[in-house]
Structure 1
Amino acid sequence: MSTLDDLRRIAARLPGSEQRATTGGAAWFVRGKLFAWECHPWPSIPVDMRAIIAAELVVGVKVADPIDALALVEMAPDVFLRTTTSWGEPKVAFRMQGIDEQHLAELVTEAWRVQAPKYLRAEFDAVAG
C-alpha cells in the first residue's frame, strides 16, 4: 500500500515538479500543468465512485490517452476507478491501498511525462540513464 508521502517523494525527484495545496487536497504540477492529485468526493463524481473516494485515499493522474486509462481499469478494476469526472481527461484515478510503491512510481512518472515540456523530460532521461 502506497501513501501520499510515497507520492511526495516520487514527485520530488521529477524535474520542475511542485506540490500545491488545493481545495480537494494535495496536487502536483509541472510548469503549471497538473499531473497528479489527491481525489476529493465532489458532487459531480458518480455516487458509487464518490463513496470510495470519501472512504479511502484515491489519487488521480494524467494519462497519454483514454485507451491507457481504460486498459488500467480493465487490468485491475478493484484498484482503478472506472470514472470520476469528465473534466481533465484523459486521466485515471486509483485506490492507493491497491498500489505498491513501484507501480505508483510508474504511474506518477508517466503522468509527469504527459505534462512536462520536452526539455524537462530530456533532463530527467539524462539523469535516469
Structure 2
Amino acid sequence: MATLHDVRRTAAGLPGSEERATTGGAAWFVRGKPYAWECHPWPSIPEEIRTIIASELVVAVKVADRVDALALVEMAPEVFLRTTTTWSEPKVAFRMAAIDGDHLAELVTEAWRVQAPKYLRREFDEAAP
C-alpha cells in the first residue's frame, strides 16, 4: 500500500519540486504548477467518487492528455477513478491503497514532466544513472 510518504520521497528527487499544504491536503508543485495532490471530497465531485475520497486516501496527478487518463481508468478501474472535477484537467485520480510503489513513482514522475519546464526535465534526465 502506497502512502503520502512515498509521494514525498519521489517528489523530493525531482528538480524544482516543492510540497505545499493546501485546503485539500498536501500538493506538489514545480515552478508554481501543480502536478500531484491529495484529493479532498469537495461538494462539486460526483457523490459516488466523493464517498471513495472521503473514506480512503486518493491522490491525483497531471497527465499529458485526457486520452492517457481514460486509458489508465479503463486499464485498472479498481485503482483509477473516473473524473473528479474539471479543475486541473487533464488529470487522473487513484486509490493509494490499490497502487504499487513503482507505479506510483512512475505516475508522479510523469506528472512532474508534464508541468516542468524543459531545463528542469533536462537536468533530471542528465542526472539519471
TM surpasses 0.5: yes
Q: SS of the counterpart of 1:40?
A: coil
After TM superposition, give the deviation of residue 59 of structure 1 in Å: 0.1
Give per-residue Cα distances to partners, 1:41-71, cap 9 Å, x unaligned.
0000000000000000000000000000000
After TM superposition, give the deviation of residue 86 of structure 1 in Å: 1.0
Partner of 1:31: 31
4+ residue runs over 3 A deviation = none
Partner of 2:67: 67
Distance in 1 (alpha carbons) for counterparts of 2:8 and 2:48: 28
Give per-residue Cα distances to partners, 1:76-98, cap 9 Å, x unaligned.
00110011001210000000011
Please report the TM-score for the alignment, with normalisation by the length of structure 1: 0.99
Is 1:80 the counterpart of 2:83? The answer is: no
Q: Which residue identity lines up with residue 78 of structure 1 in the other structure?
A: E
Distance in 1 (alpha carbons) for counterparts of 2:45 and 2:90: 15
Distance in 2 (alpha carbons) for counterparts of 1:59 and 1:9: 15
Please report the TM-score for the alignment, with normalisation by the length of structure 2: 0.99
After TM superposition, give the deviation of residue 33 of structure 1 in Å: 0.3
Query: Which runs of structure 2 are paired with 1:11-50 in the superposition (5 Å)?
Result: 11-50=11-50
> Which blocks of at least 5 consecutive residues in structure 1 are unaligned?
none
Q: RMSD in angstroms over aligned alpha carbons? A: 0.5
Identity of aligned residues (%): 79
Partner of 1:55: 55
> Which blocks of at least 5 consecutive residues in structure 2 are unaligned?
none
Partner of 1:119: 119
